[in-house]
Amino acid sequence: MKEKKTIITYGTYDMLHEGHMRLLERAKALGDYLIVGVTDENYDRSRGKLNVVESTKKRVKAIEALPFVDKVIVETSKSQKAEDMVKYDVDIFAIGDDWVGAFDYLNEYTHVEYLARTEGISSTKLRAENFDMIKLGMVGLGLGRDTQAFLDEAKFVSNLKINRIFSRDFLALKQFTKKSDTIKYGHDNYDEFLDTSIVAVYIDTALEDHYMFIKKALEAGKHVLCENPLALHKNELKELLGLAKKEKVLLLSALKTAFLPAFNQLLKELDDGVIGEVKEVRATRTSLYKEKDYPESFMAQGATNILSSYPSLLVNKILGKSKNITFFDQGDEGYDVSNLIISKHKGGKVGVSHVATGMKSEGDAVISGTDGYVYIPSPWWLTKKFYVRFEDEHKSQIFNYEFDGCGLRYMIAEFSSLIQRGKRKSKMLTPSDMVGINRVLLEYNERKEKEFKSKKED
Ligand code: CTP
């Protein structure tokens, strides 16, 4: 006979409430030693819990403080539960009866017990009661397709209401609002649109219009989420970030990769030294827009302006700001259709970003370190899975964070959660990350302009 009976349970425990406490108390009463697995934020988000407001650290601290809890662990993947049963020699796995049947497979390792859930309270309910509804307006109607994708993904984010859109294209606007089940109000006057009760905007217009639309929205005191790049000319982004600070609003770049659970887990693993010291980051992103019915005017913005923010995100997040940059561009159409961008970083580390709209290549990424490397298969910017590989192939690991949809919901959830919590910066994409990423295309545009001027003078 074992001396002490070990009980284990798992949960998110966001905004710790009476329902959580009662369940934990009853779980402890089933034995002598209670282990609580608190779900990690990246794992939570990958399994669809997008709207959690407290960090893993904060939630762990709150559970640790409870007198009936003996040990707290962090749950990072679905397969962990079975491993924990063996590791901690668990006698009973207890969980609320909202999960009836879901964990029967664990009966193979331990005894599974479903406990009655407390009626009338949940974290979801508390979040809805404690946070205001955010009214967001859409700016731009692009090809319509992208607008709809954003709206579809936003449905997974709680406390967010989108029912207004601005576009200069009056006809397209009329057609869109007629068909849309969510957007009821179309505006072709930006000032009037900003004058409504919306508190935030999502901007997806032609790249050269971003700066002006962002500036006006910030001046009107609206939080801004804008597609990349936020600005095409020197000092514009710094000016916009300064303006956001002055107006006490949030300005966030819509680089969806930065908010994906797998991408954030990757950064965490690298930080923990999973491949030793990182020496080189290489990422490719190409897209043949001409095959997707995009107009010539779109491609004329150049591959670097359209696509470089993505590889620059990976390079900058891992290696920090670039110290000097070399461009190897191609394009006879008057704009670049391909650009191989090599950047040098602190400690001589090297970033290699490859973007193209006029040729197709493998969209993968490799991060090389002194002990091993990480491989992210194509499309790496929709990061779901990454491989950690070593000289000794037996040591290799796979990290898998599948997600539903096109990945936009994670970004929208972060944007809306920051507003709700009164935060003006995202840890996943800080203002200095945004400046570093933007610097690559600014330098390229500046050099092109100089080249153009000197050719003209010749
Ligand atoms: N729980 C409970 N009674 C409640 C709410 C939760 O017994 N009213 C239990 C759950 O069954 C689970 C544990 O508390 O065993 C952690 O649940 P969690 O999902 O973190 O809490 P919820 O409030 O259900 O969270 P959400 O609304 O985000 O789903």
Separation between Cα atoms, residue 159 and residue 132, nearest integer Å = 7
Separation between Cα atoms, residue 68 and residue 131, nearest integer Å = 30
Pocket (CB within 6 angstroms of ligand 1): 11-14, 19-20, 23, 95-96, 98, 117-118, 121-124
Locate the ligand 1 atom nearest the alpha carbon of residue 98 and give its number.
11
| DSSP 8-state secondary structure symbol assigned to residue 399 | E
- Tokens describing residue 208: 């050269």
H runs (alpha helix) in 180-235: 190-194, 210-219
In the reported structure, the alpha carbon of residue 23 is separated from the centroid of ligand 1 by a whole-number distance in angstroms of 8
Separation between Cα atoms, residue 327 and residue 451, nearest integer Å = 13
* β-strand partners of 326: 342
Separation between Cα atoms, residue 268 and residue 260, nearest integer Å = 13
Question: Cis link prior to 379 (omega < 30° from 0)?
Answer: yes
Give the pLDDT score at 149: 93
User: Which sign does the torsion angle of CA 81, 86, 88, 90 carry?
Assistant: positive
Strand blocks (E) in 13-154: 33-39, 71-75, 92-96, 111-115, 134-139
In the reported structure, the alpha carbon of residue 354 is separated from the centroid of ligand 1 by a whole-number distance in angstroms of 45
Most informative mutation of 20, 45, 92 for ligand 1 (most atoms within 8 A of CB): 20
Give the pLDDT score at 63: 98
Give the pLDDT score at 143: 60
In the reported structure, the alpha carbon of residue 102 is separated from the centroid of ligand 1 by a whole-number distance in angstroms of 14
Locate the ligand 1 atom nearest the alpha carbon of residue 39 and give its number.
20
Give the pLDDT score at 142: 67
- Tokens describing residue 82: 């079975």
Q: What share of the chain is helix, strand, coil (3-state, %, to 5)?
A: 40, 25, 35
* β-strand partners of 225: 202, 252
Most informative mutation of 9, 12, 44 for ligand 1 (most atoms within 8 A of CB): 12
Check if the beta carbon of residue 120 is closer than 8 Å to that of residue 140: no
* β-strand partners of 344: 324, 350
Give the pLDDT score at 134: 94
Q: Please classify residue 192 by burial: count the beta carbons closer than 10 Å to its beta carbon, then call 0-12 exposed, 13-18 middle and 19+ buried.
A: exposed
Residue 336 CB neighbours (<10 A): 23
Tell how far CA 61 is from the center of its chain: 25
Nearest CA to ligand 1 atom 14: 20
Locate the ligand 1 atom nearest the alpha carbon of residue 115 and give its number.
7
> Domains of the chain, with CATH numbers?
6-125 (3.40.50.620), 132-255 (3.40.50.720), 261-402 (3.30.360.10)
pLDDT block averages, 10 residues each, the chain of length 458: 90 97 97 97 88 94 97 94 97 96 95 96 91 93 79 93 94 91 94 97 93 98 96 93 97 97 96 98 95 85 95 97 95 93 97 97 98 98 97 94 90 94 95 95 92 80
In the reported structure, the alpha carbon of residue 120 is separated from the centroid of ligand 1 by a whole-number distance in angstroms of 11
In the reported structure, the alpha carbon of residue 131 is separated from the centroid of ligand 1 by a whole-number distance in angstroms of 19
Q: Judging by DSSP bridges, how do beta strands 185-187 and 251-253 pair with one another?
A: unpaired
